[in-house]
Structure 1
Amino acid sequence: MNSTQVFRTIDLFAGPGGLAEGFTTAQGPAEFKIKLSVEMDPGAFSTLRLRSFFRNLEPPGRDDYFRFARGEISLEELRRKHSLAWEMAEAETAMLELGKPEDDVQLDRRLDELLKEGGDNFVVVGGPPCQAYSLAGRSRNAGIADYSPEKDRRHFLFREYIRILGKVRPRAFVMENVKGILSSSVSGRQIFQLIHGDLSNAAGPGSYCLYSLSPNPEKSGYLLRAEEHGVPQARHRVIILGLRRDVITNFDPNAIRLPKMGKQVTVKEAIGDLPVLRSGLSRGEDTFLRWKEAVAGAFLSAADAAQEHSCLQSKLRQHYKTILNSPMIERTSNTYGRTFPSEYAVELRDERLVCPPNHETRGHMPSDLARYAFCSTFAELIGHAPSARNFPEALAPDHQSWNSGKFADRFKVQVGGRPSSTVTSHISKDGHYFIHPDPTQCRSLTVREAARLQSFPDDYIFLGNRTSQYVQVGNAVPPLLARQIAGVLGILLSEDIGQVKAA
């Protein structure tokens, strides 16, 4: 095996940088150096650039980064003190909208500069926006008057990805998208078939061979289940590995299967060590005493409503007493707390932070607090989240579709003893689908907790307003999964290139 080789990596539709984080931290015979990350959303781009800046800081400069994380200095001051690292981050990132003519001109200029450097060591990663492909997105689109998929440009942004593959001709690419892409169609044509064909021919007829990384491709095809690979989340995504036909020989596809982890990581292992926080109150004065009164009342209301479930009712009243006697709890923390972290959490923590960033609760309506109390206590006692049929009538939301079956799990607690459900951008809306498993905290997950479920390290700081931060986390590729993909790809690309012949 050759010594370490460096592969210039281009990250398209980068979001906050989950793929880049995984690729740049992968261990093995290859190093993936991000040369350009492209993202159009201002919030995600600010996070992306900050992380690029972090990677370019020399170790002594990272002390100042942690001072910024602790709120001791501003971002502007951090940038001024380390202007060279910031300039490098500016060179590596671009806030551009692919498919927009004037932005494509700028992007092509940046790509031409990279191509002028010579060499045949490019890798492209990323995936087009997934809203039009996702099952939830298609359901929403179906309810929009005059919606026409043929006119929805999001269906065809994959062609921008393919256009850049044709221009750069990377040795390899990794394309990620939602599971819904497998069943999405436009004008009777399967989107996935279009994508598969265009990827295979991106740099000329038959120029790329496409492979699955799934441990069981005969059954799963191109689908990867993140919970099988150490991510504490049931996140199922289509991952396509493309290898340029002229640089593969005697290639055994079994060599690139991502091995399953022996044990799945649970929600409790992922977030159980984070500081205990109280929920906020979205209406009226938001003080601890008023919160205690509101949440205690919520547990009592939930207990009164759960008359048909004596054990559940007893547990709710027990929590009611705990809340009444609880010491001061804040909505944010200035320490990591004393809870011993799991092996998974240890890998994500950094004590130089003093406290985890982006770990602040949002406010909830009093009526929702009672539902949160019921859901989390139900899961604590029964072992799974309640559905609509488990809800007492007194706690049912005033929603015309509540009993239709379409919104049966609109209020869903993330059970501590198993991986979470898929963290999506919808977490930015209300948090009802992402209720914390600890009943006494009576709240939805924070940005940091969602980031933990996505395997982002705690020193990965999300910028923008909190709504944007939730969207960024929900749309990201888990860095832990990306790191494993990069590890396999690095071994493959570092083999003797002279032996290649595609199957």
Structure 2
Amino acid sequence: MENNKPKKINTLELFVGCGGLLDGFEQSGMYETIASVEWAKQACTTLINRLSKKYKYENAQSKVLHFDIQRTHELINGWKDDEKFGTNKGLNWVIGDREIDLIIGGPPCQAYSMAGRIQDKDGMRYDYRNYLFESYLKMVKIYKPKMIVFENVEGMLSASPDGVNIVDKIKQGFNDHGFDIIDDIRGNALIDLSEYGIPQKRKRVILVGLSRDHFSDENRNQSLLLEFYNNTLAKYKSSTIATVYDAIHDLPSFYPIKEEDSTKKLKFSHTPTASSFSGHTPRFHNKRDIEIFRTLAEDIKSGNSRYLSAVSLKQLYTEMTGKNSNVHKYFVLRWDQPSNTIPAHLKKDGLRHIHPDPDQARSITVREAARLQTFDDDFEFLGSMVQNYEMIGNAVPPKFAKLLATAVNELLQYTKLV
């Protein structure tokens, strides 16, 4: 009997992290993960676990290459007895004679983010991550996919570490490698993910590139890309705005432990209630921060609105800590609105992601951050709490990634390339 199941699209994922983008593509059921590359060990461990348990890849371990993509020759051909990365036969061995239809991924974004540039004394001018897109391009040149999907932060549009705009470098790089991307990136490829049912204010640049080996007419390519952004992808926008309440209201609550409850130094600042949700445990907060969190959340709940301005928040910070800050440190999530952006910075503190319930007086947990990023509850993050916050903050929300995967598949089907 003839098998009428459609052929899956072969993907290679670069800078895959823990696999938010990959997870959405896998959820669509239209793609086959051939190989993934990531340098962070805990992210690789998390991804291997996900591919094996959720998507039933028997060879998940071999599909995830723990290595530095900048060492391109070794990545392609294999490396041996490396102190950090061990031994591996390389991408060519994993891929074999299979054709790569699509390369997806986005280089680490810290060097492009506005927050990163503000916090770094040199404005991230000398950060090596500014040029990791060049490693992405090398892989495109080697494996010659039909299409690419390249994701990054909005700050990429204004980053110019050596005086030349990064976007211009990326455009030129893709052009030199025979790919067309949309001319007006800000006008078309800057996507507000909250419009796609993500309970979070998160804007990302999503570049879809068409290979001129398969799409030879450059003018037609611009028309195809305009159609993709303005119609194919845009039709998946949600009719409603998802909120913090939608995402996390049903998760178990945790309340501050009173000091008189224990004569010893407390290991937890909040009730260590057992939870069936992995990663749903509050980080430790000192008494001062608990008081601040309660004050700010109660201010919003009561409608007093004393601490809504940056000036009042900075003044509160000075009063409570004795320190001064040029930027306000605190933000309480609103039940009836999307969250602010979930960043990798959550690994350092949760001051700008305070739970809306004043009785709980805490920052959000790993699982709450994952919910706001639309990770399924069965997605296990296999690092420390710090590492898990970082993996989640760096990820593409899987729910959006699934919609993107579906739209990309429609483009591939329309052009009859798969």
Q: Which residue of 2 aligns with 1:110?
A: 90
Unaligned runs of 5+ in 2: 80-88
Provide the rounded CA distance (Å) in 2 between the counterparts of 1:263 and 1:24.
Answer: 25
Tell me, yes or no, if structure 1 residue 274 matches structure 2 residue 254: no
Counterpart selection for 1:379 from 267, 289, 300: 300
Query: Which amino acid letter does the alignment assign opposite residue 273 of structure 1?
Result: D
Deviation at 1:111, TM superposition (A): 3.0
After TM superposition, the structure 1 = structure 2 runs for residues 11-50 of structure 1, keeping only pairs within 5 Å, are: 11-26=13-28, 31-50=30-49
Tell me, yes or no, if structure 1 residue 125 matches structure 2 residue 66: no
Provide the rounded CA distance (Å) in 2 between the counterparts of 1:257 and 1:21.
Answer: 18
The range that moved more, 182-191 or 15-24, is 182-191
Counterpart selection for 1:6 from 5, 8, 31: 8
Change (3 A) 1:433 1:281: farther
Counterpart selection for 1:208 from 179, 187, 201: 179
After TM superposition, the structure 1 = structure 2 runs for residues 282-321 of structure 1, keeping only pairs within 5 Å, are: 285-286=265-266
Provide the rounded CA distance (Å) in 1 between the counterparts of 2:101 and 2:78.
Answer: 16
Change (3 A) 1:44 1:281: farther
Say which structure is richer in helix.
1
Determine helix, strand or coil for the equivalent of 1:441: coil
Structure 1 residue ranges (4+ consecutive) displaced by more than 4 angstroms after TM superposition: 105-109, 279-284, 391-395
Change (3 A) 1:88 1:273: same
Tell me, yes or no, if structure 1 residue 190 matches structure 2 residue 165: yes
Determine helix, strand or coil for the equivalent of 1:367: helix
After TM superposition, the structure 1 = structure 2 runs for residues 51-90 of structure 1, keeping only pairs within 5 Å, are: 51-57=50-56, 88-90=59-61
Q: Which residue of 2 aligns with 1:389?
A: 311
Change (3 A) 1:148 1:433: closer
Counterpart selection for 2:340 from 406, 421, 424: 421
Scaled by the length of structure 1, what TM-score is found? 0.71
Higher relative contact order (CA 8 A, sep 6+): 1
Provide the rounded CA distance (Å) in 2 between the counterparts of 1:89 and 1:446.
Answer: 28
Identity of aligned residues (%): 31
Change (3 A) 1:496 1:383: farther
Determine helix, strand or coil for the equivalent of 2:141: helix
Deviation at 1:113, TM superposition (A): 3.0
**Conserved? CA contact 2:374–2:397, under 8 Å:** yes
1:199-223 C-alpha deviation (Å, 9 max, x unpaired): 2222xxxx212138xxxx7873321
**Conserved? CA contact 1:332–1:359, under 8 Å:** no
Provide the rounded CA distance (Å) in 1 between the counterparts of 2:255 and 2:35.
Answer: 40
Q: Which residue of 2 aligns with 1:333?
A: 274
Determine helix, strand or coil for the equivalent of 2:36: strand
Task: Tell me the C-alpha RMSD between the 2 structures.
Answer: 2.9
Query: Which amino acid letter does the alignment assign opposite residue 239 of structure 2?
Result: G
Change (3 A) 1:26 1:447: same
Provide the rounded CA distance (Å) in 1 between the counterparts of 2:155 and 2:274.
Answer: 38
Q: Which residue of 2 aligns with 1:254?
A: 227
Counterpart selection for 1:369 from 290, 299, 305: 290
Q: Which residue of 2 aligns with 1:134?
A: 113
**Conserved? CA contact 1:281–1:365, under 8 Å:** no
**Conserved? CA contact 1:18–1:476, under 8 Å:** yes
1:362-409 C-alpha deviation (Å, 9 max, x unpaired): 11011111110011112223397734433575973436433xxx322x
Unaligned runs of 5+ in 1: 58-84, 292-328, 335-354
Change (3 A) 1:7 1:412: same
Deviation at 1:17, TM superposition (A): 0.3
Provide the rounded CA distance (Å) in 1 between the counterparts of 2:112 and 2:356.
Answer: 30
**Conserved? CA contact 2:124–2:161, under 8 Å:** no
Deviation at 1:245, TM superposition (A): 2.3
Q: Which residue of 1 aligns with 2:353?
A: 434
